[in-house]
Amino acid sequence: MLDFTKIIFVSKTDTGRGPLACEIMKKMLGSYAGIESRGLVVLFPEPMNPKMVAIAASKGINLEDRVSVQLTEEDFDSKTLVLTMDEKYKTVIYDDYTNAVNVYTVKEFVGDDGDLENPYGGELMDYGRVYENLEELTKKVIEKLREEDSE
């Protein structure tokens, strides 16, 4: 897939959108390894957001045993694609991590504008809508990686 051997989805706490995007991509690609998620603010390993776990489970994805992981300098290299949920997280990464390269928002990477909705504190249907959006964006990411791979 392109020149990247690893893809990391980054969200604020790594307890919702990032891990969900990671698992959606793994489900779509099957055996492709090297898909992970990280958080910008992870003080200790936390379980996933219960509403995100419920939505994921309804789609055949198990997030129950997953815990959050902090993004580190070692996560960056020329073979790693880093996709953030929001523009502000992309900015924080470039400001705070000296090794940061290949960092895009998910929407920016596929040619769309704006940030991905954050359902935190919302109803279950809000989380469901985020799942649908992430699923669509993940398909576009995979298509883009495959297009560039075949050029």
Rama region for 102: left / alpha / beta (φ>0; ψ in -120 to 50; rest): left
Sorting pLDDT into bands at 50, 70 and 90, what band is 151? low
- pLDDT at position 31: 67
Sequential DSSP letters for 45-78 = --BPPHHHHHHHHHTT---TT-B--B--GGG--T
- Please write the tens of the pLDDT for every residue from 62-85: 999 999 999 999 999 999 999 999
- On whether the CB atoms of residues 48 and 22 are closer than 8 A, the answer is no
- On whether the CB atoms of residues 39 and 72 are closer than 8 A, the answer is no
Q: Which of 27-31, 134-138, 146-150 has the lowest mean pLDDT?
A: 146-150
Q: Which helix (H) or strand (E) segment is 6 a member of?
A: strand 6-11
Tell me the mean pLDDT in the region 23-31: 89
Q: In terms of DSSP H, where are the helices of the chain?
A: 17-29, 50-58, 87-96, 106-109, 124-150
6-150 CATH, one of 3.40.50.970, 3.40.50.1100, 3.40.50.2300, 2.40.50.180: 3.40.50.2300
- Please write the tens of the pLDDT for every residue from 87-140: 999 999 999 999 999 999 999 999 999 999 999 999 999 999 999 999 999 999
Examine the pLDDT at 49 and tell me if it is beyond 90: yes
Examine the pLDDT at 23 and tell me if it is beyond 90: yes
Examine the pLDDT at 148 and tell me if it is beyond 90: no
Any idea of the CA torsion for 137, 20, 77, 101, to the nearest 10 degrees? 50
Q: Where are the domains of the chain?
A: 6-150
- On whether the CB atoms of residues 149 and 74 are closer than 8 A, the answer is no
The overall average pLDDT reported for the chain is 94
